[in-house]
Homo-oligomer: A and B are copies of this chain.
Amino acid sequence: MVLFPKNLFMGIISKMQEYTLLIDAEDSKGLVYNISKVLFANNLNIEKNAEYVDEETKKFFMRTVISGNVNANLLLKEIKEALPDTAQIKLNKNQKKDVVILATKETHVLGDLLIRYSDGELNANIKAVIANHENLRDLVEKFDIPFTCISAEGLSREEHEDKMIAKINEFEPEIIVLAKYMRILTPKFVQEYPKKVLNIHHSFLPAFIGANPYKQAHERGVKIIGATAHYVTDDLDEGPIIAQDVVSVDHSYSWQDMRKAGRNVEKIVLANALSHLLEDKVFVHGNKTVIL
């Protein structure tokens, strides 16, 4: 008799392809029932499930990780049929997402992403780093990631962005991370990549919008500084917030000391927000986010 070794079996189970089902709909009675009926009828496992109903706007959000013998097209069709026409439904295979990083000169956020990436911590393929200066080439190439410098010198904002967009599109990224990319984006750029561009702002938004937030914070004499990761929209530093964190400071901090302390927050906040995006946890809800 040949026994099926338990550990091997566990290994197979754990490798079963997972999918994430994302639903964004007007709330109504029976939504959970109708969705769970389809999943049950398809004999699927619910690995994780989270829902949220916003009482003010009556919007329903659901994120469900499923596994089993999934025929994605068919399943998606059945779920669409079970829900109102206005519902937005996505069924994503759980796999690495393609990411392009934009940067300028600063090392700490980009470097942190590169270390995490080399450590296998990010569920991503970093396809390229594109910067408007040469400074970071050496660091990026250490990690065998393509680096492109597109200098803005002598170019109008629009000309520079056109070159950036052309280069970015070569890599067809699902997420674009601004890792301290210090240029203001035009509406054209933003609209090219809706809900795809993640920025880290070095303040606890909405405090200190705009340039030099650490100088502003120092000037105001705050006792806590922070950082904010948010989707980029047309309004500078006004997009939906995904993650924030803070650190205490005191009167003895110069603005440079604040910047140094803030760097630790910036890199952690951006990495946490990116991790949420890579795991399909973030819904945009008006100018806010719902994270399930």
Binding site for B on A (CB under 8 A): 29-30, 32-33, 36-37, 39-40, 43-56, 107-108, 111-112, 114-116, 118-119, 121, 139, 142-143, 204-208, 220-224, 226, 240-246, 248, 250-252, 254, 260, 263-264, 268, 271, 285-291
Instruction: Report whether B246 and A220 are in contact in the complex, using a CB–CB cutoff of 8 Å.
Output: no
Q: How far is the CA of A50 from the CA of B224 in the complex (A)?
A: 22
Question: Residues of B contacting A291 with CB < 8 Å?
Answer: 250-251
Would A51 and B53 be within 8 Å (CB), given that A29-B43, A208-B206, A264-B271 are in contact?
no
**Closest Cβ of chain B: how far from A21's Cβ, in Å?**
13
Instruction: Report whether B107 and A251 are in contact in the complex, using a CB–CB cutoff of 8 Å.
Output: no
**Closest Cβ of chain B: how far from A9's Cβ, in Å?**
15
In the assembled complex, 9 residue pairs joining A and B whose CB atoms fall closer than 8 Å, in A order, are A33-B37, A50-B51, A108-B116, A111-B118, A111-B119, A221-B240, A221-B285, A222-B241, A224-B246
Q: How far is the CA of A4 from the CA of B111 in the complex (A)?
A: 41
Q: How far is the CA of A222 from the CA of B241 in the complex (A)?
A: 6
**Closest Cβ of chain B: how far from A280's Cβ, in Å?**
16
Give the top 3 A-B pairs by smallest Cβ distance, nearest first: A221-B288, A111-B115, A33-B36
Instruction: Report whether A264 and B260 are in contact in the complex, using a CB–CB cutoff of 8 Å.
Output: no
**Closest Cβ of chain B: how far from A195's Cβ, in Å?**
14
Question: Residues of B contacting A36 with CB < 8 Å?
Answer: 30, 32-33, 36
**Closest Cβ of chain B: how far from A110's Cβ, in Å?**
9
Please give me the residue from chain B that is nearest to A239 by CB atom. B221
Question: Residues of B contacting A142 with CB < 8 Å?
Answer: 142-143
Q: How far is the CA of A47 from the CA of B53 in the complex (A)?
A: 8
Instruction: Report whether A252 and B47 are in contact in the complex, using a CB–CB cutoff of 8 Å.
Output: no
Indicate which residue in B224, B241, B287 contacts A244 across the interface (CB closer than 8 Å).
B224
Instruction: Report whether B221 and A204 are in contact in the complex, using a CB–CB cutoff of 8 Å.
Output: no
